[in-house]
Amino acid sequence: MYADDGDVPYSEREDWKDVTPVPQNDGPHPLAVIRYPPGFEEVHGYFRAIQQKNETSKRALQLTADVIQHNSANYTAWYYRRRCLKDLAIELDDERIFTDKWARDCPKNYQVWYHRRWLISEISARKRAELSPEEAEKAIQSMAREELQYHLDCMQVNNDYKNYNGWSHRQFILQQFKLWHEELPFVEQLLREDIRNNSAWNHRFTVVRNQTWPLTDTVRTREINFALESIRKCANNECAWNYLSAFLGEGDGKVSWTSVPEVETLCREVLDVAEQQHTSCRFASQALADILEAKGDVTAAVAQYEHLQEIDRIREKYWRWKAELLRHKAG
C-alpha cells in the first residue's frame, strides 16, 4: 500500500496534478549544500507543498514513506506521518511492518525507534478502547512480547548487542507493560554469551532496580554473589567490578565495603594470581583500596593507590590524587 506508483515521477501522477511542488529556499549564500541524488528534490518539493497545505491524507501518508526512503533521519517526515496516521485513523498493523525494516537496517536512527515507541503506545490505547479489558490485555501482552523478541532479532541480525536505541526500546516496553519480573533469565543468557557486554550488565541493574527497590538484603546478597562469581571467571572484566561497587560503599541501596568479607578475600586472591602471572589487575587493587579505606587503614589504602600509580600509568594522576585525598581526609 505504500509508494505503489513506483518510479513514476510525482509531476506525472494524475492524483498529484493539483499540487505545485515548493522548492527549497536556502537563501543567497547556502552552506553544506548536498548534491541531491535523482528524485530527492522532487519528492521533497511535494512534501513541502503538502506541509504548507497542512493536508493529512492517504496520498500525504504515502509521500512521507517516499521522503523517509530518501532520508530516514528526516524527523519532519516521521512527525507528519504520525499526524496522518492519527487524523486518518488508519489501521496500524501495517505501520509496524513498515518500521521493522527501518529499525533493523538503521539501528542508530532516533526517529525510527521513537516512531515505533509511539506506535506501540497508540496500538495499545486503541486496543483498550476497542476490545473488552481481558481481550485488550491479552492482545497487548502478546504485542509487548513480540517487541521484546524483535529487539533480540535486531541485535542478532546486526551482531550488535549494545545498540543504545534498541535497549531504550526494550526498557520502554518493559516499563510500559510491566514485564520487568520476567526479564532476569534474558539478561543471564546474554551474559553467558558475552560476560563483557556492559549493556547487559546495565540492564541487569535496571531490572533489579525495577523489581525490588528499596533493595532487600537477600537481593543485594544475590547480586553481590553474582558479581563475585563473574569476577572469578574473568577478573579483568571491568563490568563485574563496577557492578559489585554498585552495591557497596556509601549511597542509596548500598552497604559498607567491609560488610561482605568475601569481597576482600577475592580481591586478594585475584591480586595473588595476577602476581604469579607477572601482571596486575587495576580493578582488584581499586576495590581493595576502597575496602582498606572503609576499614580506616589509611596507610594500606594509600599503598594500594601507590601501587596503582605504578601499574596503571594512564590513570597515574588520578591514583596520586586519590592518595592525596585520603591523606587529607585522615588529617
Partner 1 sequence: MVILDGPETLTSEDQHSCEENVLAFFKHVWLSGAQAEICLQREAHLAWLKRGFTSLPPNFAGLDASRPWFVFWIAHAMEVLGDFDDHWAPKVASFLSHCQDPTGGFAGGPSQLPHLAPTYAAVSALMVAGTEEAYQVVDRAAMYDFLMRMKSPEGGFKMHDEGETDMRGCYCAIAVASMLHILTDELMEGIPEYICRCQTWEGGIAGEEGLEAHGGYSYCGLATLCIAGKADALDLHGFLKWAVHKQMTHEGGFQGRANKLVDSCYSFWQGAIFPLLHEAFRQGGSEKVPLPKDHCWFAPEPLQMYLLLACQHPAGGLRDKPNKSADFYHTCYALSGMAVSQYDVSNHTPLLGDLGNLLERTDIYYNVLLEKAERKCTFFEALPPLAVPGREGVGAVRWRQHVASLSAVEVEASPPHQAATGGYGGTASPSARDQTM
Residues belonging to the active site? 108
Identified binder of partner 1 from the candidate list 173, 224, 260, 274, rule CB under 8 A? 274
Please say which residue, 97 or 233, places its beta carbon nearer to partner 1. Answer: 233
The contact mask relative to partner 1 for 132-171 (x = CB under 8 A, - = no) is ---------------------------x-xx-x--xx--x
As measured in angstroms, the least distance from the Cβ of 226 to partner 1 is 14
Identified binder of partner 1 from the candidate list 88, 125, 273, 330, rule CB under 8 A? 273
**Spatial distance between the Cα atoms of 49 and 55, rounded to a whole number of angstroms:** 9
Q: Do residues 249 and 258 lie in contact, with contact meaning Cβ atoms separated by under 8 Å?
A: no
As measured in angstroms, the least distance from the Cβ of 289 to partner 1 is 11
30 contacts partner 1 (rule: CB under 8 A): yes
Listed ranges 26-34, 97-105, 121-129, 137-145: which one lies at the site for partner 1 (CB under 8 A): 26-34
The contact mask relative to partner 1 for 301-320 (x = CB under 8 A, - = no) is ---------xxxxxxxxx-x
Listed ranges 58-66, 214-222, 233-241, 296-304: which one lies at the site for partner 1 (CB under 8 A): 233-241
CA angle 202, 205, 210 (to 5 degrees): 125
35 contacts partner 1 (rule: CB under 8 A): yes
31 contacts partner 1 (rule: CB under 8 A): yes
261 contacts partner 1 (rule: CB under 8 A): no
226 contacts partner 1 (rule: CB under 8 A): no
Tell me the residue length of the chain: 331
**Spatial distance between the Cα atoms of 12 and 42, rounded to a whole number of angstroms:** 11
> In terms of Cα–Cα distance, which of 328, 268, 321 is closest to 298?
328
Identified binder of partner 1 from the candidate list 64, 99, 124, 280, rule CB under 8 A? 280
The contact mask relative to partner 1 for 58-77 (x = CB under 8 A, - = no) is ------------xxxxxxx-
Residues contacting residue 263 through CB under 8 Å, at least 6 positions apart: 224, 228, 244, 248, 257, 287, 291
Please say which residue, 136 or 176, places its beta carbon nearer to partner 1. Answer: 176
96-101: Cβ within 8 A, 24+ apart? 96/123, 98/2, 98/65, 100/150
Tally Cβ neighbours within 10 Å of residue 235: 19
Identified binder of partner 1 from the candidate list 246, 248, 288, 302, rule CB under 8 A? 246
54 contacts partner 1 (rule: CB under 8 A): no
* H/E element, 148: helix 133-158
DSSP 8-state code for residue 188: H
**Spatial distance between the Cα atoms of 169 and 159, rounded to a whole number of angstroms:** 17
**Spatial distance between the Cα atoms of 68 and 45, rounded to a whole number of angstroms:** 14
> In terms of Cα–Cα distance, which of 72, 82, 155 is closest to 109?
72
The contact mask relative to partner 1 for 90-129 (x = CB under 8 A, - = no) is --------------------x---x--x------------
89 contacts partner 1 (rule: CB under 8 A): no
88 contacts partner 1 (rule: CB under 8 A): no
Listed ranges 3-11, 124-132, 143-151, 198-206: which one lies at the site for partner 1 (CB under 8 A): 198-206
Q: Do residues 148 and 170 lie in contact, with contact meaning Cβ atoms separated by under 8 Å?
A: yes
